[in-house]
Structure 1
């Protein structure tokens, strides 16, 4: 769960640190106090798109940091951490996001710098933010297949990965087939270009690692005088009359003469003797290597000329000789394919047919898994909708093509896409006797909120997300529907930590922890503060939410009654 959230210089927030508990945490406060700004900060922490507009006026940067505690050892965050080489210790993950005033975004996970894309991978396993905008996404049927796939992610994911591998391979083969079967003139021009490149590279007669070897030899020739002088000076300093080895020999002899009288001297005599013979061998090696040194101006010119030729080829074909040789092998293969285009096309066609059949079988398996998931999801949705006063609503998940069309079609006629051959739509009828229609054509805003909430309740069991956040999803509802939504949100908090921004007293009363967001003016600047309400303060806040600004004893009594009813509901 999200244990602690720290926000600095973000929008109207100067500096706040919020501690969160397990269960349902409700955030309330006047409009404009900064409730949604806190959710925006969490969204950025999960890898959302940032903007310099978030940086507080006159501040250099906005900083957001969140500490998450992971109790489940099988949580997907561990596999994500392993994939990106980030160690997760003590069941804790710290996400950090910094947005500078000049627009730069800096992301860290457990103090390690990561890209925004990697931060997003961590964020989506930890946080699920549900806003009014997300409810609108339910209207788009293109999103329905993704929602269905979330219902049983482990089984569907495995099947989907196997299908995706084949589909990507099939797409690549089709692209190559199209390339070779169309535009004869373009292929002829391509062949001319490749033939020219091949001739140029063959004439160069390159050898593996040739550029590195020539550079090394060139450095030696250019610095010949320094190298030769250094070798001679070293040898002369070691070997000869009154030189290094002679003085070491005298020291060796002095110790050896008295080694029989003292064990320590005997030991050191042996050590200095070993060093002496090692240095003597070293001096001989240096002398011999010095004798091999030769300077050749003509060889240096040859190397310079060869390197110039290689560098010219590098500008066209690769950054190293080895890369150029790899490119040469590639174009040789392509030339062979063009010269034998007909047989190559035939071979590609056979491969496409084979992969297409395999992809169809995987798509069919994926379809069957989705069918079972759709039946279970529909049954679960009916249960959840009943508790949200939509018991007379009819719900179904349609598949295109349907079972009848799959029987009369074969794998040649079914069009495969990135999700298989399924096109899925959620259909609904909110009034008895009316036909099932697409959500966008039937459902009202309040109904969409309840349907999405039902899906969240179901998915909370399957996704394993650490924290679920609801940002004013209860807008536009009241009365018994508001109470049903409050109960549903609380039920979701039994499986995941839930943070909820609300203006409904029914939802606020359901809180395990109630935090109040307010804004104040200090030094001619507006800033946001967060405080956790006591029971008495919660009664006053609920009274305000019921009646408005004026608090009455009747409203307080009503608020206390609501809390008593909530206590009874939770105990059951």
Structure 2
């Protein structure tokens, strides 16, 4: 959820910091007070398009920062791992956006600089914003198939995973077939290049890890004098008259002579004896190794020449000798394929056909699961629409699926299906795509019904409704208020509203006001007490004039909301 939001020098906002709870928070206030500006700020935080127009007059930059807390298995951990951004086990994520007065946009996630595209990837998993004027993801037909898969995730996910593996395998096979089927001139040029490279690498006669072995030997020869002196000094300090080993021998003999009188002395005598023999053996190893050391300037020159040759090959074929050897194996395989192209093409064709048939069967099973999920979704949507007084509305899921199993070239990442949600809000009217529904009030209710169903599946931590209740009133307004509250049981909900019914349902009610200070206009946010809620609801019911009747109505709305929640 969005725990805290800080905004500075953004539009008419001077500096505010807002703390949010994990329930339903309603933001109300006069038109122009800055409610939608706060949502604009959140949208920018989620990767929306910025503009210098957002920077407060005479300010150098606008800054927005949001603190989010997420559950352990949230998708944001996977995204953070992919981009190398550390997200602690406590699940705290900080998004930061700066827009400068000269138009630069600076984005950070947990303090690390990121591109706007990366910020947007984080944002879409954390924030889901819905407004009256935007269709958003629920209204976009491109997203409908993913929403349907989410609706019955437990059944569909395994089949979809199996299909995805086969589809990816099929794509790789097709690419290999295409690459191998290039025209004769390109193939001939490719063969010439590969033969030249293979000949060069064969003449180099590289050995595994040769670069590492030679670099170690070069280091030894180049530092021969230091190594020889160091070993000699160590050996001479240990071995000889009045040297380390002799003194250790005296010490161990002193303990050995008295071990029978004291158990501690006996224990330490044994321990020191063991150390003595180990150090004596170590000194012999140093002496023997010193005797093997030889300075060979000719060998050093040979190594330098060989390493220069290897360095030249690394620039062309790989970062290490092992990489180069691996590349050599690949070009040998590719050469073999190109010189025996026809037989390989036949094998690839057989593999493609076999994989395509398997993929189609899996896609057909995926299609059948989606059909069953669609039937259940249609019933579920109708129940939600009935609760929003759209009982005459007709919802449907349109499948545009590949019917012919021979048309495997038409397989795509989602199988054989293209899915579109359709609706008709009036009897006798044809079914249309969701984003083509004309009435704003109807669109608000349809979106809310869909959001209610999909909220628990989409995994976003915060759902924001920006005046989605515009164009409705009366019993529909009350039904929408109840629906928004039920969504807040699945996700944190922030809602800007002009409807007293929705505001009464809030767990937390924040009032947005414009204030003047030093001849500048700023936005102020206040969390309302119960009595202040009554006053604000009364204002929303009657406008500027507060009456006792309006206050009684406001109290009644709050009591009804409390009873509904209970």
TM over 0.5: yes
Name 1:420's counterpart in structure 2. 415
Call closer, same or farther: CA 1:60–1:247 in 2, change over 3 Å: farther
- What corresponds to 2:354 in structure 1? 354
8 Å Cα contact 1:135-1:449 kept in structure 2: no
Per the alignment, in what secondary structure is the counterpart of residue 15 of structure 2? strand
> Judging changes above 3 Å, is the alpha-carbon distance between structure 1 residues 21 and 425 closer, same or farther for their aligned structure 2 residues?
closer
CA offsets 1:539-571 (integer angstroms, 9 cap, x no match)? 211222233333334433443343344455556
Q: Map residues 527-538 of structure 1 onto 2, 5 A cutoff.
A: 528-538=523-533
Q: What's the counterpart of residue 511 of structure 2?
A: 516
Quote the offset at 1:26 in angstroms.
1.3
Q: Which residue of 2 aligns with 1:5?
A: 4
- Verify: 1:18 aligned to 2:13, yes or no: no
Question: What secondary structure is seen at the aligned counterpart in 1 of 2:327?
Answer: helix
Cα distance 1:154–1:443, how it changes in 2: closer, same or farther (>3 A)?
Answer: farther
CA distances 1:295-314 after superposition (whole Å, capped 9, x unpaired): 11110010000000000000
Taking the aligned partners of 2:215 and 2:290, their CA distance within structure 1 comes to 21
**In the alignment, is residue 491 of structure 1 matched against residue 489 of structure 2?**
no
- CA–CA distance in structure 2, aligned partners of residues 239 and 55 of structure 1: 78
Cα drift, residue 33 of structure 1: 3.9
CA offsets 1:251-293 (integer angstroms, 9 cap, x no match): 4444445555555544444444433333222221111110000
Equivalent residue of 1:279, what SS?
helix
Q: Matched residues in 2 for 1:60 and 1:455: separation?
A: 35
CA change 1:355–1:266 in 2 (3 A) is: closer
Any conservation in 1 of the 2:388–2:480 contact (CA below 8 Å)?
yes
1:379-435: per-residue Cα shift (whole Å, max 9, x none)? 22222222223222222222124xxx83xx333367212211212222233332233
Counting only pairs closer than 5 Å after superposition, residues 139-158 of structure 1 correspond to structure 2 as 140-158=140-158
* 2:78 counterpart of 1:77: no
Matched with 1:304 is 304
State the aligned residue count: 554
Is the 8 Å Cα contact of residues 144 and 425 (structure 1) preserved in structure 2? Answer: yes
Per the TM alignment, residue 237 of structure 1 is displaced from its structure 2 partner at its CA by 1.8
Q: Which range is displaced more, 523-532 or 240-249?
A: 523-532
Q: State the shift of 1:372 in Å.
A: 1.2
Could you say which residue in structure 1 is the equivalent of 2:319? Answer: 319
Matched position secondary structure for 2:68: strand
User: Partner residue of 2:452?
Assistant: 457
1:80–1:121 contact (8 Å) kept in structure 2: no
Asked if residue 545 in structure 1 is aligned to residue 544 in structure 2, the reply is no
- State the TM-score, normalizing by the size of structure 2: 0.86
Q: How far apart, CA to CA, are the structure 1 residues paired with 2:262 and 2:137?
A: 92
Q: Quick check: 2:385–2:446 contact (8 Å CA) kept in 1?
A: yes
Change (3 A) 1:241 1:494: closer
Change (3 A) 1:275 1:420: closer
Structure 1 gaps of 5+ residues are none
How has the CA–CA distance of structure 1 residues 268 and 554 changed in structure 2, closer, same or farther, with 3 Å as cutoff?
closer
1:225 corresponding residue in structure 2: 225
> Cα–Cα, structure 1 residues 473 and 78, in superposed 2: closer, same or farther, change >3 Å?
closer
Contact preservation (8 Å) 1:467, 1:498:
yes
Corresponding residue of 1:470: 465
In the alignment, structure 1 residue 559 sits paired with structure 2 residue 554 = yes
Tell me how far 1:489 sits from its aligned partner: 1.5
Q: In 2, are the aligned partners of 1:392 and 1:430 still within 8 Å (CA)?
A: yes
Q: Supply the distance in 2 between the matched residues of 1:468 and 1:88 (Cα, whole angstroms).
A: 23
In structure 2, relative to structure 1, the CA distance for the partners of 1:78 and 1:144 (3 Å cut) is closer
Counterpart secondary structure, 1:551:
coil
Q: Distance in 1 between matches of 2:66 and 2:51?
A: 14
After superposition, the Cα gap between the structure-2 partners of 1:61 and 1:497, relative to the gap in structure 1 and judged at 3 Å, is closer
| Whole-angstrom distance in 1 between the partners of 2:373 and 2:480 | 25
1:539 and 1:559 in contact (8 A); partners too: yes
Distance change in 2, residues 1:564/1:63 (3 Å): closer
Change (3 A) 1:115 1:103: closer
Partner of 2:200: 200
Distance 1:115 1:227, change over 3 A: farther
2:108 corresponding residue in structure 1: 106
1:437 aligns to 2:432 (yes or no): yes
Q: Residue 393 of structure 1 contacts residue 430 of structure 1 at CA under 8 Å; is this kept in 2?
A: yes
Partner of 1:93: 91
In structure 2, C-alpha distance between the alignment counterparts of 1:219 and 1:60, rounded to whole Å: 56
| Matched-pair contact (CA < 8 Å) for 1:126–1:465 | yes
Task: Give 1:174 shift.
Answer: 1.4
Distance in 1 (alpha carbons) for counterparts of 2:378 and 2:298: 84
Shift of residue 118, structure 1, vs aligned partner = 8.8
The range that moved more, 480-489 or 257-266, is 257-266
Cα deviation 1:77-132 (Å, max 9, x = unaligned): 3995799598986xx53222234567543323xx9999999987776666543333
* Residue aligning to 2:163: 163
Greater CA drift, 120-129 or 245-254: 120-129
Change (3 A) 1:351 1:414: closer
Asked whether the equivalents of residues 174 and 352 of structure 1 are also in contact (C-alpha less than 8 Å), the reply is yes
SS in 2 for 1:431: coil
| Aligned residue number for residue 504 of structure 1 | 499
CA distance 1:509–1:290, shift in 2 (3 Å): same
1:366 aligns with: 366
Gaps in structure 2 of 5+ consecutive residues: none
SS in 2 for 1:506: helix
Match of 2:178 in 1: 178
